[in-house]
Every structure is written in C-alpha cells, then in structure tokens.
C-alpha cells in the first residue's frame, strides 16, 4: 500500500512539473530585434527662421495671433534640427494634395524598412505579421498594401492597419503583436509608425488649432519583433509587461484631441485643456496594474503603510508617493511638449537626469506623435548605454 501511494505521489509530481512546463512553454515571449528611426534630409529642415516665415505667410493672423505663435515657438522646447513637410516649407501648405502626402509617407516607410531589413538580414518574405499605424492619411491601395507590393511579401501575411490612435498608436501596435504571438509561434512581425503632416497643416487663426503646427514634426519608425526563442540573444529588448487603458468612455478624454474644421472651413487638430488631465488619468490607471509587477515588495509595503497613516492622520509628506525608481532604471517619456514632460516629471517624481532623453528627443525631432518614444529610446541607447 505504501509503495502504491509513493508511486502515485511521484506520478502527481511529474504531472505537475509537466503541466507547469507546458504552461510556460505556451506563453510566447515578445522580443524587439531591431528598430530604425527616420532621419529626414536637410531640405526638410524646419528651423526657427523657417517657422517664423511660415507664420508670416498666414494671412489669416492678426497681431495677437502672431505674437501668440512666436511665444509658443519659444516655449515649445523644440530646437533647430526638426523637420517639416516639403509642401509646407515650399509655401504650398494651403493646397496640399494626395501626391505630397504619399511621397512623404513613402520616404519614411520605405526608407526605414530598407534599412531595417538590411540591418537585420531578415527577408521581407519571412515576415508573418505587418502592422501599420499612420492615422492621418487614407489611400487606395492602403499603406500596408503599398508595403506588401513593394517588398513582395507572402500572400498569407497577417495585416493590420490602425488609424485614429494618435500618440499611443505605436505602443498599441506592439500590444497587438504581443497578443498575436501568444497564438502563433515562430513569427516575425513588422510595425511601421508615422503620421502624415502634409495634408494636415492648419492655415487658420484658431489658437487651439495653431499649436499642432508648432509642436508636430516629421518622423517615423519601423520595428522588427519576433517570438522565436532561438533569436532572443539577438534581441535588444524583451517585453515583460504591457498594459493598455482606454479612457474613451470619458467625454473629456474622448474630445481632448479631435480633427475638425474652423468657421472658415480650414481643417486642423483641436487640442483642449483636458488633454493633460486625460493623459494623467490613463497613466495613473496603468500604474495600478504595472507597479506591483515592477517594484520590489519592500516599496509596495512602505507605500501601503504610508498611505494608511496618511489617510488616518489626513496629512501628507514628500515621502508619501510611490518611489518608481526603486524598480525602474530608465524612463521613456513621450516627448509631447515641454509642458507635458514637466508634468510627467512632477507626477512621477523624476529628476532632470530621468527627463533628459525626452527633452532631447523633443529638441532634436519635435513631437513626432506615435514614434516619439522610439526617438527617446534611440537617444537613451546612444548616450546612456
């Protein structure tokens, strides 16, 4: 009887080990093998002088709007090396056409993909998943179709064309790829992110719609991801945790950034004062999920105790916040503007060393929307190792 029980327990043990092994094996990892950021040619440079000339060309502006734009340029935190659309620099912003937009996107998408394929040695025929996140242009054939046709990808490639996602699009695309990797094994995925500024340059006089002209610049990035375990030694990053929070059910967040027409029929982007608040709420909701996975237990216990006594005594202290640096070495902040970076720094308790990559990405490339994080990461890799 004892022998039978022993054999049975050994059997259960091996079944348990086998179950855990299969469970872990089924969870596919997501590796970023390489990425390539777009660097525009010098004839697309949009320095302060050129920006000033663009402002002067806008016949709709009065003296008040002109001074407002000049002050916004000074406060934006953008340097002399950013890049804008060719049609805008050439003075044709009032009559954009599809050819300008497609030429701009082709330069970015094909330029970064050519370099990415050459850098990694991966062939276009090996790509299993293609995700494109270019919100502000719609063409027929679509941008993903243009990519597939140029590189002659396989007919069974899984294609996704995300639009209307704004600055979060690139991260959402990585999240989509990560979920696909849990179902499909031994895959290569490409994520292409950019925005089309050529047909979206605002030529009216509404102040809230002028700001995107000051902040947004040309940029793009292509990424190669895989869940092939044998390639993990080649990967530059491994995705451990990713959380997506959608606050679109909140009216203030839903309407914080919209593409509209002004009273004169000029199209542009309307940014409300609720935008920083909506972003802060989304970050806060994400941290509730991510913090327990990233921070050491001692910090979580400390924060819980401090929060308990703070609520009981109804007082607060500088040490009452969550110390994110106890579990995080580097912070990749979206370079949406100087005010955005400052606000994130205050809310997360970061110093100038932590914010330097975001400030420098903003200074060198401007707000490149969905691809801004990859310019920040590129700076971190180049300067901080």
By 3-state DSSP, what share of the chain in percent is helix, strand and coil, each rounded to 5? 55, 15, 30
Predicted pLDDT at 215: 85
pLDDT category of residue 315 using cuts at 50, 70 and 90:
low
Cα 134 to its chain centre, rounded Å, is 12
pLDDT category of residue 10 using cuts at 50, 70 and 90:
low
Residue keyed to tokens 């243009």 = 146
- Per-residue pLDDT tens digits for 61-113: 666 666 666 667 667 788 888 998 888 887 777 777 888 889 899 999 999 99
Residue 24 has pLDDT above 60, yes or no: no
Q: What are the structural domains, with CATH classification, of the chain?
A: 30-239 (3.40.47.10)
Q: What is the mean pLDDT of residues 197-209?
A: 82
Residue 238 has pLDDT above 80, yes or no: yes
151-183: buried (b, 16+ CB within 10 Å) or exposed (e) per residue?
bebeeebeebebeebbbbbbbbbbbbbbebbee
Instruction: Measure the CA–CA gap between 218 and 337, rounded to whole angstroms.
Output: 15
pTM: 0.87
Give me the helix-helix angle, 63-75 and 207-215, nearest 10°. 40
Q: What is the mean pLDDT of residues 171-195?
A: 95
pLDDT category of residue 22 using cuts at 50, 70 and 90:
low
From residue 254, alpha-carbon distances to 37, 172, 179, 200, 258 in Å are 30, 17, 25, 20, 8
């Amino acid at each position: 009887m004892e022998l039978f029980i022993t054999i049975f327990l050994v059997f259960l043990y091996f079944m348990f080990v086998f179950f855990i092994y299969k469970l872990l094996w089924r969870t596919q990892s997501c590796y970023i093998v390489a990425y390539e950021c777009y660097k525009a040619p010098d004839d697309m440079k949009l320095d302060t002088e050129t920006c000033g000339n663009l402002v002067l060309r806008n016949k709709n502006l009065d003296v008040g709007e002109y001074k407002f734009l000049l002050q916004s340029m000074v406060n934006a935190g953008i340097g002399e090396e950013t890049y804008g659309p060719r049609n805008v620099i050439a003075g044709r912003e009032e009559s954009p056409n599809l050819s300008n937009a497609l030429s701009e996107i082709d330069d970015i998408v094909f330029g970064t993909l050519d370099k990415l394929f050459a850098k990694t040695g991966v062939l276009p025929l090996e790509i299993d998943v293609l995700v494109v996140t270019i919100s502000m242009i719609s063409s027929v054939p679509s941008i993903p179709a243009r990519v597939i046709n140029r590189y002659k990808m396989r007919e069974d490639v899984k294609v996704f064309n995300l639009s209307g996602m704004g600055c979060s699009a690139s991260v959402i695309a990585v999240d989509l790829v990560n979920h696909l990797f849990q179902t499909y094994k031994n895959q290569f995925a490409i994520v292409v992110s950019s925005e089309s500024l050529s047909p979206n340059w605002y030529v009216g006089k509404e102040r809230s719609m002028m700001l995107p002209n000051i902040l947004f610049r040309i940029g793009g990035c292509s990424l190669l991801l895989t869940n092939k375990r044998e390639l993990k030694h080649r990967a530059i990053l491994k995705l451990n945790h990713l959380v997506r929070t959608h606050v679109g059910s909140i009216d203030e967040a839903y309407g914080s950034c919209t593409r509209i027409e002004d009273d004169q029929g000029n199209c542009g982007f309307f940014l409300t004062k609720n935008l920083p608040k909506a972003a802060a709420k989304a970050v806060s909701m994400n941290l509730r999920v991510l913090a327990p996975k990233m921070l050491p237990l001692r910090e979580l216990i400390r924060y819980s105790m401090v929060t308990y006594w703070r609520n009981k005594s109804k007082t607060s202290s500088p040490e009452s916040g969550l110390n994110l640096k106890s579990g995080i070495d580097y912070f990749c902040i979206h370079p949406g503007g100087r005010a955005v970076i400052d606000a994130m720094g205050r809310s997360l308790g970061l110093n100038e060393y932590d914010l330097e990559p975001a400030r420098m990405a903003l200074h060198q490339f401007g707000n490149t929307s969905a691809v801004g994080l990859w310019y920040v990461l590129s700076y971190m890799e180049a300067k901080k190792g």
